[in-house]
Structure 1
């Protein structure tokens, strides 16, 4: 069965504390919610509103919002989200890098930063906190980040591969427990999930793409990497960032991740360092590219006050054919299998075609003029899903590109040598 499609707005890029000087607080979130009211007029209002990095109290853990920045707790914001007709979401660092909760001390890893999922009380407290968020706060969207599954307490004699596999197993258990309790929750996974020890990046000296197939049982979307420039010339950094995501999504597809399970950085719009201070530049192109990559989601990161009215109208027009296709159980797939091709996608000039492997299919593509370099979006065809039996436990979803990698030592899928320069 296809994973649920969804629309969401996340506060990341509206604030950025690790790479900028804009911390998250209650006032920022309330202003963002005020700005979102305007989106109702354009048919792009999200289902979920995610409160991202920095909401957790650094000394009390995951059942407490940051006391200095949320003096009255989260109730006012959570009630406002629900009153607006959205469901709340929260960000969770899997290994809690940077938090200093005294009760977790026995789980602190040798790097004095991460907490081990394998020893001490940390993993149980994280699991209980996820249930608390779902059952008490009504959270229905969970974004997991900064995973280090092999993190170990000092003196742990186990190999990296063993610790990694056990860490994945422990994480899958806790998210499966969450989904058994609240089956409708949406889960996405960001840095540290698809690439061991690489913080979500590819390039020289970075370990190959790797993920344990067991995580596909509990994660709805795997991140393809933080916004950063590709190695192709571009006239603006946000154009280069779009190209980078095309390359990353293709790399993950070729390593066995179905397109519907790959989560790119979404459409970003903000003035912080994490999105290159781009403001609203290139927003509509990034938004169309996100839809065309086939992730069955429409995710906006950043400041909802920045898009102009014509941006919102354009985003609604771009979303409509994709949502219609996904509602009819169509999926995105790479056309001309085995051939690396890119195309400019433009909602002003749409062409329809049929007949991919004898099945009904259509695409919205416009090939670039001869004097221009191929651009921002893969050549995407929406293909009707073929019925197939459920996958055996512990195996990845079948889909475009699945089975092309080789098993790694931790039981995952490895694709060596695929990076921005390996096209």
Structure 2
């Protein structure tokens, strides 16, 4: 992509773009008569609207959307979307619903389409009979189906004849304000609406696209403004014609989502006029933040928390931000997470206050007991989101300050709190409204394993890297207890160990004394050798990317013998990484004797920082 997509997206698709553009230069074909005869039937009987009579304008009520991306992955992995996979996940949705989970929509994500079908026909042999059975089964069960579009960029799709006069010079994207692309694209959206589609996901948009002549005679700012106005006007008309649609915006509609260490305000400004047509705007795919954590998934939580705060600071209401922070799966896009630390991720997704809550990936990894827990957590927040308010408090997540999200209604409040620091920290759970009673008499409803948070009125003390959920008023009751997240373990204590790291560039070393009790935690942060800013290393995604455990290497020795170092970042990370954390267990150390520590980053010249802590679990 060009200016509309983030650099991270560029890295994910760069290896594929050459092939797509070569294909795009070939003559695309119109939909054949036989395909037209087999097109999905139009839906009769009017719209299936789950929100009749609710107030205007957009985002009328909180919704829960299932999206099957990360159950498959054709960007960072080679797991293909098929009809069998899509129908299997639909069966899983129905299983979860029987166990109490609410799911309102089901979106088929990227690459469902035939490359030569101009978004009208489905890819064969993956969908030999097209989408009819999927659409029908969704609607028979009260689930509203949705589709993904790469908007005006040619991502695994070739330019239809109607689009060619809109192509830019490299034939990778179409102008919205010139030629026949936009009218044809809007006709396609209506085509799918008439066949039952009710949620549309727009991704990888490029508002810098222009025909060669326009690119020579107009400034980039003029081109962008014309494209944005044309697309926004078209979506407004589409909404007026189809008032029950849900439209969601993803990559390219504003915001800098690559890193939590980037400058703010955003370089790619979020134009608030998009809120006139979109129900939600996303704030970045799950990825590690630039905050080092022993538990990799907690750093991923912090990324989503940070980006939601930045979009809020860009004047988007929390209700209109889709954090996209809850994703299950055994694919490269979610770093083969499966269900690691999924409970905290689910709570935080809802705590952030968004009204479009998207559940991604492989639902089959959730057991029936997991689904019952999911339903209980969802029922707590569903009411708060619909009838109350959600607000932020505390520091900025990416600046390693304790922070939280509070939700309240007339009966009480629930606070999700996180301490991203390598220290025990206290945070005050501020009143969220002048109408709210004093914050006291709370109950810890959920926490990570290990350190027991200390709750005393409105302050709460959290261990390093810890998350907790606290209820007040009506919600300070055992009926809302959600238990302990056993796969995130927080130390009972942490103390920084004196360590003077020396070295140059890509290798730093220090000697420390093994603690009398507890383990050694080693934290490395990577910075640019040029300007000292936090810097990520990108070594590709699956299947050919390099495991970050081989890029960032932490080693240690005692008495000349190597010590085992446990790490959790040993993953192929398409989005890059700027840190490493490892721990040496006490049982392998001789207390009081020196330990030699070495941290290395392979590749280009960088500047490394290191710290060492004694942690007791």
- The reply to whether TM is greater than 0.5 is yes
Q: CA 1:18–1:201 in structure 2 vs 1: closer, same or farther (change >3 Å)? A: same
Distance 2:222 2:311 in 1: 24
Q: Which residue of 1 aligns with 2:567?
A: none
Q: Which among 307, 313, 336 is matched to residue 372 of structure 2?
A: 313
Check if 1:342 corresponds to 2:403: yes
Q: Which residue of 1 aligns with 2:81?
A: 24
After TM superposition, the structure 1 = structure 2 runs for residues 96-135 of structure 1, keeping only pairs within 5 Å, are 96-98=153-155, 99-103=157-161, 104-135=163-194
Check if 1:301 corresponds to 2:368: no
Q: CA 1:365–1:58 in structure 2 vs 1: closer, same or farther (change >3 Å)? A: farther
Q: Which residue of 1 aligns with 2:435?
A: 359
Aligned-residue offset at 1:365: 8.3
Aligned-residue offset at 1:338: 9.6
Aligned-partner SS, 1:7: strand
Aligned-residue offset at 1:151: 1.2
Question: Higher strand fraction: Structure 1 or Structure 2?
Answer: 2
Check if 1:138 corresponds to 2:196: yes
Q: CA 1:187–1:266 in structure 2 vs 1: closer, same or farther (change >3 Å)? A: farther
Distance 1:249 1:150 in 2: 26
Q: Which residue of 1 aligns with 2:348?
A: 289
Larger Rg, first or second structure (1 or 2):
2
Distance 1:241 1:232 in 2: 9
Aligned-residue offset at 1:191: 0.9
Distance 1:374 1:33 in 2: 35
Distance 1:331 1:133 in 2: 35
> Is the 2:396–2:402 contact (alpha carbons within 8 Å) kept by the matching residues of 1?
no
Q: Which residue of 2 aligns with 1:71?
A: 128
Aligned-residue offset at 1:336: 6.3
Distance 1:355 1:289 in 2: 19
Q: Which residue of 2 aligns with 1:410?
A: none
Q: Which residue of 2 aligns with 1:277?
A: 336
Q: Which residue of 2 aligns with 1:231?
A: 290
Aligned-partner SS, 2:169: coil
> Is the 1:44–1:316 contact (alpha carbons within 8 Å) kept by the matching residues of 2?
yes
Aligned-residue offset at 1:356: 3.6
Aligned-partner SS, 2:125: coil
Aligned-partner SS, 1:210: coil
Q: CA 1:180–1:379 in structure 2 vs 1: closer, same or farther (change >3 Å)? A: farther
After TM superposition, the structure 1 = structure 2 runs for residues 175-324 of structure 1, keeping only pairs within 5 Å, are 175-195=235-255, 200-202=257-259, 204=262, 208-324=267-383
CA shift digits 1:251-275 (9 cap, x unpaired): 1111111111111114211011111
Q: CA 1:19–1:358 in structure 2 vs 1: closer, same or farther (change >3 Å)? A: same
Distance 2:109 2:158 in 1: 19
Deviates more, 1:299-308 or 1:31-40: 31-40
Count of residue pairs brought into register by the alignment: 378
Aligned-partner SS, 1:211: coil
Aligned-residue offset at 1:321: 2.2
Unmatched 5+ stretches in structure 1: 383-416
Check if 1:158 corresponds to 2:249: no
Aligned-residue offset at 1:41: 2.6
Distance 1:362 1:61 in 2: 58
Aligned-residue offset at 1:88: 0.5
Q: CA 1:316–1:362 in structure 2 vs 1: closer, same or farther (change >3 Å)? A: farther
Aligned-residue offset at 1:351: 6.2
Deviates more, 1:286-295 or 1:165-174: 165-174
Distance 2:394 2:95 in 1: 41
Aligned-partner SS, 2:364: coil
Distance 1:374 1:16 in 2: 30
Q: CA 1:313–1:169 in structure 2 vs 1: closer, same or farther (change >3 Å)? A: same
Q: Which residue of 1 aligns with 2:18?
A: none
Distance 1:186 1:362 in 2: 38
Aligned-partner SS, 1:35: helix
Unmatched 5+ stretches in structure 2: 1-55, 407-412, 416-428, 448-452, 455-460, 474-532, 537-577, 579-617
Q: Which residue of 2 aligns with 1:389?
A: none
Aligned-partner SS, 1:56: coil
Distance 1:365 1:129 in 2: 52
Q: Give the alignment's TM-score, normalised by structure 2.
A: 0.56
Aligned-residue offset at 1:337: 9.4
Aligned-residue offset at 1:119: 1.7
Q: CA 1:338–1:15 in structure 2 vs 1: closer, same or farther (change >3 Å)? A: closer
Aligned-partner SS, 1:155: helix
Distance 1:315 1:374 in 2: 23
CA shift digits 1:310-341 (9 cap, x unpaired): 3212211111122112332x221124699964
Q: Which among 135, 141, 161 is matched to residue 84 of structure 1?
A: 141
Q: CA 1:161–1:361 in structure 2 vs 1: closer, same or farther (change >3 Å)? A: farther
